């Protein structure tokens, strides 16, 4: 399957994942939610490990995957907290700015060169993502004066670094995608467990109460599917991480509509115009040669 189609599939399931994630953290303690979602992810991937479908790794290889878990874990810590306190249609569109940082790194340091039409599509998508974020000012106030917006931006930058790191380990170090996904899930669970034990458990009586929700299972399930499509796309030797990142963030459509329809968030003409821009940009990226 084309890496472009895999990127689009990842975006679809990522959008549903964002919706389940919002339901999981809304009025809930974030750190135990992170741990349990990570634990279910690892539990679902465990049969793959036990049946011997993963390649053998050295200690040096495991350190690379541990580092990935630390980077993504830190990103999740920022973004889950932000999503718990922000409108979904705004938080996910801020996170959709990840392509801006990824493209800068991929083009500047990894030698990627998208085609001319794809550059136009990328530019339109980025401008549209910025427009979507600007549309949220009436709901969130001044963006850079809001601590949760800053958390979302920090998490987004870390997610961009993770995307570049994924290209490094999958294309240049030739890790097998399924192996990366399985061991990443295990190390992510350990990272979130340590974070919960250190930063939440001692102060749990003074923080937001924790509630178990079945949405945790949906978070894990949809993220597994989204990640599988994503890792397969990135592992393709002709895949461009700058393009994959933009396509993957088209998940903003599902999050945007869910925020307005399900969570009754504010409607805006600028939001809809920006979404149209994203559609045009994605078409140019897919067709550009």
pLDDT digits (tens, 9 = 90+) for 210-233: 999 999 999 999 999 999 999 999
Q: What's this model's pTM, rounded to 2 decimal places?
A: 0.83
- How far does Cα 97 stand from its chain's mean position? 11
Q: Average pLDDT of the chain?
A: 85
How many CA atoms are closer than 13 Å to the CA of 128, on its beta-carbon side? 25
1-5, 18-22, 174-178, 260-264: which is most confident: 174-178
Two tokens, residue 276 = 């149209």
* Distance of alpha carbon 154 from alpha carbon 160, whole angstroms: 10
Query: Which pLDDT value is given to residue 51?
Result: 92
Burial class (CB in 10 A: 0-12, 13-18, 19+), 230: buried
Contacts of 23 (CB under 8 A, 6+ apart): 213, 215
Confidence label for 4 from pLDDT (cuts 50, 70 and 90): confident
Two tokens, residue 250 = 């088209």
């Amino acid at each position: 399957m084309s890496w472009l189609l895999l990127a689009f599939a990842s975006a679809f399931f990522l959008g549903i994942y964002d919706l389940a994630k919002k339901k999981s953290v809304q009025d809930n303690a974030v750190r135990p939610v992170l741990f349990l979602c990570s634990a279910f992810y690892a539990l679902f991937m465990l049969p793959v490990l036990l049946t011997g479908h993963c390649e053998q790794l050295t200690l040096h290889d495991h350190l690379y995957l541990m580092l990935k878990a630390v980077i993504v874990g830190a990103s999740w810590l920022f973004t889950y907290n932000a999503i718990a306190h922000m409108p979904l249609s705004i938080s996910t569109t801020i996170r959709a700015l990840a392509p801006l940082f990824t493209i800068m790194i991929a083009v500047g340091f990894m030698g990627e060169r998208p085609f001319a039409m794809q550059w136009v599509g990328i530019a339109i998508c980025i401008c549209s993502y910025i427009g979507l974020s600007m549309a949220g000012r009436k709901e969130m106030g001044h963006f850079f004066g809001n601590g949760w917006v800053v958390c979302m931006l920090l998490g987004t930058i870390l997610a961009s670094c993770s995307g570049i790191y994924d290209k490094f380990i999958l294309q240049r170090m030739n890790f097998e995608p399924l192996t990366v996904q399985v061991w990443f899930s295990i190390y992510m669970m350990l990272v979130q467990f340590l974070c919960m034990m250190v930063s939440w458990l001692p102060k749990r009586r003074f923080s937001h109460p924790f509630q178990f929700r079945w949405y945790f299972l949906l978070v894990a399930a949809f993220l597994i599917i989204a990640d599988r499509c994503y890792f397969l796309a990135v592992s393709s030797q002709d895949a461009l991480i700058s393009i994959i990142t933009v396509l993957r963030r088209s998940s903003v459509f599902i999050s945007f509509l869910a925020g307005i329809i399900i969570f009754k968030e504010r409607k805006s003409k600028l939001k809809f115009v920006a979404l149209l821009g994203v559609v045009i940009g994605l078409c140019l990226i897919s067709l550009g040669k």
